[in-house]
Amino acid sequence: MKAFVMKQIGQVGFMEKPVPRPGPGDAIVRTTKALICTSDSHTVGGGIGPRENLTLGHEAVGVVHEVGSEVKVFQPGDRVLVGAITPDWGHPAAQDGYASQSGAPLGGWKFSNSKDGVFAEYFHVNEADANMAKIPDGVPDEMAVYCADMLSTGFMGAEKGNIPIGGTVAVLAQGPVGLMATAGARLRGAGLIIGVESVPNRQKLARTYGADEIVDFTREDVVTRTGELTQGEGVDTAIEALGADATFQTCVKITKPGGTISNTGYFGEGELVGIPRVEWGVGMADKTIATGLCPGGRLRMERLLRVLETKRLDPTLMTTHTFRFDDIERAFEVSDKKLDDVVKVLVVF
Ligand code: ZN
């Protein structure tokens, strides 16, 4: 089969690989739609070290091709969504409620990390009964595929942000995860959502997904403007959706005492992440810093799919580009270099 791989740090290309075979609890899925993620760029850039000839990608849907002898829930022909994070559900971390950390910190992240990813004609799913979900008839593949990572991670930002109904929320950066954090904040009942973003098409999407106010950090000071919008109080919840030290520090500054800084960002550089001491209340302001990694699992995926089935949200507005799998090299370049006002790139198999 054809697979799109990271040949070495900074270099991608196609490769022929054998179609994978399932273990007793596993499944093989024939890929139908996939999305390119900023994390794929981090990986190719060397973020997780050298991964020679590793198949890229972790956001996909498809049709079950083969199942292992112990798989009960799925059979060949089922249309399925697979979480980007596919935990080992027997691990104590999963039993403790932190499935994404199974095996090691971030150990639930297997695709394009500890095993081949989904940018291939077929891919392998461990613990299929726990890590896949059937896609409802009314939800098309190109919509369902957003649940693998974007909805799960973005909504996690809102969920871990502990947003009170009617509360105030700032979402810092309106990339695809930030946009879904914005949508998640609205679904959670936020009373005021402030979207921080400078790119016009992302500002527009932010408003569509629920932002009441847009703050352009290139034109105004985010701390000052957020203070004005919250009568000097600060927000209940600040969601970090960029993965940058400056953004994280802003989140700490604009969160009121007792509030939550909810991180979805990937901090891939530097040794330390800074916390502004005074605005952290010298360590005593009851500000919670919450972190997490894209929750996976069948129950999670089924819940996210229900949001789409009942038309609470249309994530396909984020699809700015569509490419055939044969053209994924170009697709990757568009996503990687953020060309042509890209938000999210869909790959059709
Ligand atoms: Zn992703």
pLDDT digits (tens, 9 = 90+) for 20-37: 999 999 999 999 999 999
Long-range interactions of 305-313: CB distance < 8 A, separation 24+:
305/81, 305/133, 305/135, 305/136, 305/139, 305/144, 305/147, 306/136, 307/151, 307/187, 308/139, 308/143, 308/144, 308/146, 308/147, 309/136, 309/138, 309/139, 312/187, 313/151, 313/183, 313/187, 313/209
What's the sign of the alpha-carbon dihedral 325, 328, 330, 333? positive
**Looking at residue 73, what is its pLDDT?**
98
Domain topology for 155-291: Rossmann fold (3.40.50)
Helix ranges (H only) for the chain are 38-44, 92-95, 128-131, 141-144, 150-160, 176-187, 200-209, 222-229, 245-254, 298-309, 328-336
Averaged pLDDT for residues 236-253: 97
Q: Which tokens belong to 342?
A: 């890209």
Q: 36 C-alpha vs ligand 1 centroid, how far in Å?
A: 7
Averaged pLDDT for residues 276-286: 97
**Looking at residue 218, what is its pLDDT?**
97
Averaged pLDDT for residues 65-75: 98
**Per-residue confidence at 269, pLDDT binned at 50, 70, 90?**
confident
Q: 85 C-alpha vs ligand 1 centroid, how far in Å?
A: 9
pLDDT digits (tens, 9 = 90+) for 185-233: 999 999 999 999 999 999 999 999 999 999 999 999 999 999 999 999 9
**Looking at residue 151, what is its pLDDT?**
98
Give yes or no for a contact between 26 and 127, defined as CB atoms under 8 angstroms apart: yes
Q: 290 C-alpha vs ligand 1 centroid, how far in Å?
A: 19
- Return residue ranges of the chain for CATH 3.90.180.10: 2-149+294-348
Q: 23 C-alpha vs ligand 1 centroid, how far in Å?
A: 25
pLDDT digits (tens, 9 = 90+) for 40-57: 999 999 988 888 999 999
Give yes or no for a contact between 24 and 69, defined as CB atoms under 8 angstroms apart: yes
**Looking at residue 2, what is its pLDDT?**
98
Q: 150 C-alpha vs ligand 1 centroid, how far in Å?
A: 7
- Chain length of the chain: 349
Whole-angstrom distance, CA of residue 88 vs CA of residue 130: 9
- Return residue ranges of the chain for CATH 3.40.50.720: 155-291
Q: 115 C-alpha vs ligand 1 centroid, how far in Å?
A: 15
Residue whose token pair is 């095996």: 103
Q: 289 C-alpha vs ligand 1 centroid, how far in Å?
A: 22
**Per-residue confidence at 268, pLDDT binned at 50, 70, 90?**
confident
pLDDT digits (tens, 9 = 90+) for 80-123: 999 999 999 999 999 999 999 998 899 999 999 999 999 999 99
Whole-angstrom distance, CA of residue 100 vs CA of residue 87: 6
**Looking at residue 187, what is its pLDDT?**
98
Whole-angstrom distance, CA of residue 124 vs CA of residue 58: 11
Which amino acid, 54?
Answer: L
Query: Quick one: CATH architecture of 2-149+294-348?
Result: Alpha-Beta Complex (3.90)
pLDDT digits (tens, 9 = 90+) for 292-338: 999 999 999 999 999 999 999 999 999 999 999 999 999 999 999 99
**Phi, psi of 196, rounded to the nearest 5 degrees:** -100, 120
Q: What is the pTM of this model?
A: 0.98
Q: 323 C-alpha vs ligand 1 centroid, how far in Å?
A: 17
Residue whose token pair is 């679904």: 187
Q: 62 C-alpha vs ligand 1 centroid, how far in Å?
A: 16
Q: 231 C-alpha vs ligand 1 centroid, how far in Å?
A: 36
**Looking at residue 55, what is its pLDDT?**
98
The chain-wide mean pLDDT, for the chain, equals 97
**Looking at residue 99, what is its pLDDT?**
97
**Per-residue confidence at 144, pLDDT binned at 50, 70, 90?**
very high
Pairing status of strand 255-263 against strand 11-16: unpaired
Whole-angstrom distance, CA of residue 215 vs CA of residue 173: 10
